[in-house]
Amino acid sequence: MSKLILLRHGQSLWNAANKFTGWVDVPLSERGRAEATIASCKLRDAGYKIDVCFTSMLIRAIETAIVCMTECDEIRGGKIPIIQHATDDPNWHGWNKYEGDPAQEIPICPSALLDERYYGALQGLNKAEMAEKYGAEQVRIWRRSYSEKPPGGESLEDTAKRTIPFFHDRIMTHLKKGENVLVAAHGNSLRSIIMDLDQLTPEEVPLLELATGVPIVYEIDAEGQVINKITLDT
């Protein structure tokens, strides 16, 4: 039985400032790094070990993955996390073609397909101020609905069109082999994956809220079916 661990990144500096972030590359706050540390300890205490990690390309998700993976040796079996960049990226001078040593290393694989929803014209704006300008209900719809797009941005439906195929093509492959996978990503990219795993309808998904830094663990069988779900929020 493999484990899929979904982890929304820790609080970012723009989360703390109540701003729409989207694709703006904002780092974690001090609290966010602490949340990633606590998540690592929760996974250690629950006895989980990680074989491979996927993140978005945004620093807040990568920071969360690195803090989580390095804080407690037990969850990585003493292996060294290695960020495995895409082999078609010309900026890595060939280093990204390093195949790694599975006996001593754990790959962390960033992908833009796991990036947060693009919030378009709302990025960098204060959520409370936008609620005053457009109404709280409109802002709630932009943030939580399935098909409604913020001005110039993506809907959750748009986000799902990139996250779910990536999940089934890349992440599920490891799960079906019996490997434990950590996915450190974002509220909306993870909401879309959870919508698929839990078979939620577009009417049910607005009720789905993910806290920062709280691991959600799925037990997955060899056919890729969900057997159990646990939230490590205590």
Domain harbouring 51, CATH code: 3.40.50.1240
The first and second tokens of residue 189, run together, are 């990219």
Each residue's pLDDT tens digit in the chain (234 positions)?
A: 999 999 999 999 999 999 999 999 999 999 999 999 999 999 999 999 999 999 999 999 999 999 999 999 999 999 999 998 877 777 767 666 777 788 899 999 999 999 999 999 999 999 999 999 999 999 999 999 999 999 999 999 999 999 999 999 999 999 999 999 999 999 999 999 999 999 999 999 988 999 999 999 999 999 999 999 999 986
CA pair distance 226, 151, nearest whole angstrom: 36
Domain housing 31: 2-217
The first and second tokens of residue 153, run together, are 């941005």
CA pair distance 65, 123, nearest whole angstrom: 24
CA pair distance 49, 222, nearest whole angstrom: 18
pLDDT number for residue 92: 67
Tell me, what DSSP letter sits at residue 171? I
Model-level pTM?
A: 0.94
Domains: count for the chain? 1
In a domain, 225, yes or no: no
Tell me, what DSSP letter sits at residue 168? I
How deeply is 233 buried, as exposed, middle or buried, from its count of CB atoms within 10 A (0-12, 13-18, 19+)?
exposed
In a domain, 227, yes or no: no
In a domain, 162, yes or no: yes
In a domain, 229, yes or no: no
What is the SS3 assignment for 3? Answer: strand
User: Under a CB-based contact definition with an 8 Å cutoff, are residues 190 and 183 in contact?
Assistant: yes
In a domain, 80, yes or no: yes
Opening angle at CA 43, ends 39 and 47, nearest 5: 165
> Which residues are known to be catalytic?
9, 116
User: Under a CB-based contact definition with an 8 Å cutoff, are residues 15 and 21 in contact?
Assistant: yes
The residues, ordered by sequence, that sit 6+ positions from 175 with a Cβ below 8 Å of its Cβ are 2, 4, 181, 220, 224
pLDDT number for residue 96: 64
In a domain, 230, yes or no: no
In a domain, 39, yes or no: yes
In a domain, 222, yes or no: no
3-state helix, strand, coil split of the chain in percent (to 5) is 45, 20, 40
Which stretches of the chain are assigned E, i.e. beta strand? 2-8, 52-55, 80-83, 105-110, 181-185, 215-220, 226-231
